[in-house]
Chain A
Amino acid sequence: MITITADPLDLNTLIAAVSAPHCGAIASFLGVVRNHNQGREVLFLEYECYAPMVNQEMERIIAEAQTQWPVHTIAVAHRTGKLLIGEASVAIAVASAHRHAGLQALHYTIDELKKRAPIWKKETWSDGSSWIEQCGH
């Protein structure tokens, strides 16, 4: 399940979408916009994406995670457009029978999203703006 939207993200919607009677664990991640990066004060971010390829690449990442760990469903939502400090940019929920598989699949999904999904963010500070290179944190 992959959603790309300009609307605010709601992690509970993803959790409800992945939950199933045989799943005893739902692991989730919420990425939010922080107020500083590399020593500068951030006012807001603008996200741009190549939506059809984000869908394709995330389908591949989810399939890879499901091959490596016994997880039931993985849902990913990513925001686009202008985001203010504290707003959620990405939400992921993974349902699995047991917690270890879900936590590992969650970790893999967010790490690979950051490496591979064609999504870009432009930071605006009080004195300028720039597209950001990946920081690796």
Chain B
Amino acid sequence: MTFQVLLFAQLRELAGSATISVSANAQTAAQLLTAIAEQWPALAPALASSRLAVNQAYAQAETAIAPSDELALIPPVNGG
């Protein structure tokens, strides 16, 4: 399965792209994060502190994912 993942801020700059593709047999947020770490080592400096969002809501480690979901990596936020 191929997942498209949106990137923002320092993650977008580290990848040089606002979206990355990840090929993985992942069914949970935690499994996808592991695959991202393996396939996109450039993201390493900011990945450990980032959270996955599934369909515009923060995911837990066991949150189920599918390639049709809107997936995004959220680095530490700093609004306001």
Chain A residues within CB distance 8 Å of chain B: 31, 47-50, 52-57, 78, 89-90, 110, 113-122, 131-134
Contact = CB atoms under 8 A, between A and B. Distances in A.
B28 interface: no
A90 B80 CA distance: 5
Contacts, number: 74
Interface of B: 6, 8-10, 13, 53, 56-58, 72, 74-80
7 contacts: A50-B56, A114-B77, A115-B77, A116-B58, A118-B79, A120-B79, A133-B78
A114 B75 contact: no
B77 A116 contact: yes
User: Which one of B13, B56, B58, B79 has the highest number of Cβ atoms from chain A below 10 Å of its Cβ?
Assistant: B79
User: Which one of A57, A131, A134 has the highest number of Cβ atoms from chain B below 10 Å of its Cβ?
Assistant: A131
